[in-house]
Amino acid sequence: MRTEIEEHLRKKLIPFWAGLQDEENGGFYGYVDRGLVADKEADKGCILMSRITWFFSNAYRTLGNPALLAQARHGYEFLRDHCFDREYGGIYWSVTFRGEPSDTIKHTYNQAFAIYALSSYFAASGDPEALDRALDLFHLVEDRMKDEGGYLEAFDMRFQPSSNEKLSENGVEAVRSMNTHLHVMEAYTELLRVLTEKKPAVRESERRAVRQALCGVCRIFTEKMWNPALGRVEVFFDHEWKSLIDLWSSGHDIESSWLADRAADILTAGAFSEEEKQAAADISRKIHAATEVMARQVYEKAFVRDSVVTEFENGIPAPGRVWWVQAETVVGFLNAYGKNPDRKEYLEAAEKTWDFIRNRFVDQREGAEWFWDLKEDFLPTDKPIVEPWKCPYHNGRMCFEVMERLKGDM
């Protein structure tokens, strides 16, 4: 599996996304239809630009090819020059193909992915400007996008509260969402990792502030989002953290099961004082207990033959399969196997899911990538190959994680 996935990264994913580099206007083309035709004048989603920058940064860190670092810099420069609001701060939702503001909503989820990308780009390039921008966004999120209960969702250009329709689904509009909090956790994990491992020339107070914020969002995960009675993370909430719908997002649970474990591990590695170590140990214990249950429940109730069902609303499984869920399933089950080497079924599930991806999701056409989703008969739908949400983040990350986690098997 590791050999196949490395070859897939080198020969399929990297060439596809490198081919979308916009040499005239910067960044990468924002839309490719099902027929593999790029719309070079489509808006460029800032989440997409962040995720592509993250992808090439980590591809360089994994493979060491200087061309990959150049592509990461190309993405970073577009983020820096066009996606930041220079007047009010923060990252726009989208810009035009030329890099002018299009959708000026400031969403916490979007800021998180920019922090994630900027942190990884700093780790790859050593460029202190990228880290400064990541820290600026961190402080903006902490100062302007949260309250005493946790993180809020959407704001207008001037940071007045706005509708959260972009991260609300299934007929509800959430004041708080699992998805936003999960990816704030992910972003802060990566930022703390580089502050701890790279030891850049920043004030110790900055590292402590990031660490404290990561502790806070990890506590929200275990105390507000995690439902121990049902063994799952709830999805949509009101302001007081009341769940709004009976929805089990098994796809997000298998993703959360390893992202939360990683957050706990980075918290522990970044703990220097006795107080920090004690807090990290408490959080790690609670997170690892929850993620153990999450992985087991996804395996027992949502893993069907060779892939994972995306979600269950009112106990009813969603039809078909979605690309990102399958990528996260491979990593989630590998993570569960790493924690429980006697549970060989987790490793087998990861292998079966990769076979399912290889045979069903990977678009075999020349110059293609993955299909977005499959119908109940496992044939692909007509959804685009690239758009603001369809990116190399989940499947690229699957490749990096498999290569790292299984390198001892080579």
Report residue 71 CA to chain centroid gap.
Answer: 20
Residue 226: predicted pLDDT:
98
**What average pLDDT does the segment 349-366 reach?**
97
Instruction: Please give the Cα distance from 346 to 295 (Å, whole number).
Output: 9
Of the pLDDT bands very low, low, confident and very high (cuts 50, 70, 90), residue 105 is very high
pLDDT, tens digit (0-9, with 9 covering 90-100), for 145-176 = 999 999 999 999 999 999 989 988 888 999 99
Closest by Cα among 220, 251, 396 to 326: 251
Residue 98: predicted pLDDT:
98
Of the pLDDT bands very low, low, confident and very high (cuts 50, 70, 90), residue 272 is confident
Contact 154, 176 (CB under 8 A): no
Of the pLDDT bands very low, low, confident and very high (cuts 50, 70, 90), residue 410 is very low
pTM for the predicted model, two decimal places: 0.97
pLDDT, tens digit (0-9, with 9 covering 90-100), for 168-225 = 888 899 999 999 999 999 999 999 999 999 788 888 899 999 999 999 999 999 999 9
Residue 408: predicted pLDDT:
67
CATH topology of domain 2-409: Glycosyltransferase (1.50.10)
Backbone angles phi, psi at 201, to 5 degrees: -80, 70
**What average pLDDT does the segment 120-126 reach?**
97
Which residues are CB-contacts of 316 (< 8 A; sequence separation ≥ 6)? none
At residue 122, does pLDDT exceed 50?
yes
Of the pLDDT bands very low, low, confident and very high (cuts 50, 70, 90), residue 86 is very high
Helix 46-63 and helix 393-405, axial crossing angle in degrees, nearest 10: 20
Mean pLDDT of the chain: 96
Instruction: Please give the Cα distance from 272 to 391 (Å, whole number).
Output: 37
Helical H runs in 9-93?
14-18, 46-63, 66-78
At residue 40, does pLDDT exceed 80?
yes
Domain ranges within the chain, ordered by starting residue: 2-409
Residue 120: predicted pLDDT:
98
**DSSP state for residue 359 in the 8-state scheme:** I
Please identify which residue in the block is written with the tokens 């000026």: 104
Q: Which of 199-213, 267-281, 323-337 has the highest mean pLDDT?
A: 323-337
Q: What does the radius of gyration of the chain's CA atoms come to, in whole angstroms? A: 20
At residue 409, does pLDDT exceed 80?
no
Residue 198: predicted pLDDT:
79
Which residues are CB-contacts of 366 (< 8 A; sequence separation ≥ 6)? none
